[in-house]
Amino acid sequence: MPQPPLSSAEPTMPPRPLLQTIFSSLTRAPSPSTTPSTSTSTPPSWTLLRTLKSENPNDIQGDLHGTATFTPLPPHRPQAPKAENEEEGGAEEHTDLLYSESGSLPTSFGPGLRWTKKYIWRLSANGRISVWFVKMDKKPSGQSSDAEEADYLFHEFDFAATASSEMNSAEFVAPPMPPEVPGLPRGATTKVIAARGNHLCIDDMYRTAYAFRVDEGSGEVLSWASRHVVRGPKKGQDIVNLYSRAA
């Protein structure tokens, strides 16, 4: 079951080194100091529990189970699109991760059916994190995933309060609480870093919130969560994603 959302209080901008650690740790297993004592190693993948609610009875409802991975992409690719707030030249000064998820659809949709989705997560030279849609161009058979390219911006992570959000906090949604991490070493503590971002797709508004449970010592991500609330003339969805380290 999804955990209750965090407070809707304004998030604050973490220091740049912490943002860099959060971003890079999504691709690797935790360091020994933060690895739960119940296991000797953790694969660099995430177990995904997705809970879908929709006002449309024909949409998928309930829980879906899957996995997600972050794969580093080659740096400094020329002519890549850049976020609105990136400095000039930022398109060539960034680090990209390919986020890939997959899982099984309910058997009511047919036996053996699966879902897949990809985004590109970007850490820019100025320390900002953004999420991009992946180009849908068909690639030659056998071409590796490191050929994936960003197409257009989904949203930037907003950690700090802005004038618009202070005037109308209803523009944003609260993230769910990331899963607890069992078996942490004695004395290890965690904290939750929250972010948010919105995207308007024609008439549909996608309001997204993130929460990362990080080790207070190293800053590495131990679990995380996201929430997408979609509102439009024909859409009314609330999607909660909980990510835990794969066992």
Contact 71, 109 (CB under 8 A): no
Write out pLDDT tens, residues 122-136: 999 888 999 999 998
Write out pLDDT tens, residues 92-116: 588 999 999 999 988 888 888 999 9
Q: And the tokens for 77? A: 């690719």
Number of H helices, E strands in the chain: 2, 10
Q: How far is the C-alpha of 214 from the C-alpha of 193, rounded, in Å?
A: 7
Q: How far is the C-alpha of 106 from the C-alpha of 54, rounded, in Å?
A: 16
pTM: 0.81
Domain ranges of the chain: 16-245
Half-sphere exposure of 84 (CA within 13 A, CB side): 7
Q: Of 110, 117, 127, which is closest to residue 66 (Cα–Cα)? A: 117
Amino acid letter, residue 156: E
Residue 118, helix vs strand vs coil: strand
